[in-house]
Amino acid sequence: MLETCARRPLRGAHDFAQARNVFFENKKMLKNAPTTDAELLKALGTASCGQFIVCRHMARGTEMVGSGDRIFRVRGVTTELRDLVDTWVIVDTAVMQFAGTWICDGLIQSHNVHIGPNMRKDLLAKIRIA
């Protein structure tokens, strides 16, 4: 789908991440997504794309905090996030609600930024309240 939106072949994670960001930033492109799958279109409409803090891996998903301190419990589609990324790091990705579960789009760009103990404590307190 991203190659269709980019109108060119995509090579490597950087190309895919760039195409994904353009796709989610452009509401017209999102509205005219090249799919007829109603459930996928619904999921794309719930998507949040940007930076997230990966807080902790749990049995039923990974807790992440996005912009505006929005908290998500996210599952991987084919691979659990615990197998893809460490905790307490900042990542760029997209999450969306599909069939009642928040999922990650599978393209995760990790930054070499780790969250310190005081910020961890504050984030865990927010998660517990939610």
pLDDT one-digit tens code per residue, 26-73: 766 767 777 778 888 888 888 898 999 999 999 999 999 998 889 999
Say what percent of the chain tops pLDDT 70: 94
Q: Note the pLDDT of residue 89.
A: 95
Say what percent of the chain tops pLDDT 90: 46
Domain residue ranges of the chain, discontinuous segments joined by +? 2-129
- The mean of the pLDDT values for the chain is 87
pLDDT of 22 over the 90 cut:
no
Q: Note the pLDDT of residue 30.
A: 67
Tracing tokens 């939610």 back to the chain, one arrives at 130
pLDDT band with cut points at 50, 70 and 90 for residue 1: low
| CATH architecture of structural domain 2-129 | Beta Barrel (2.40)
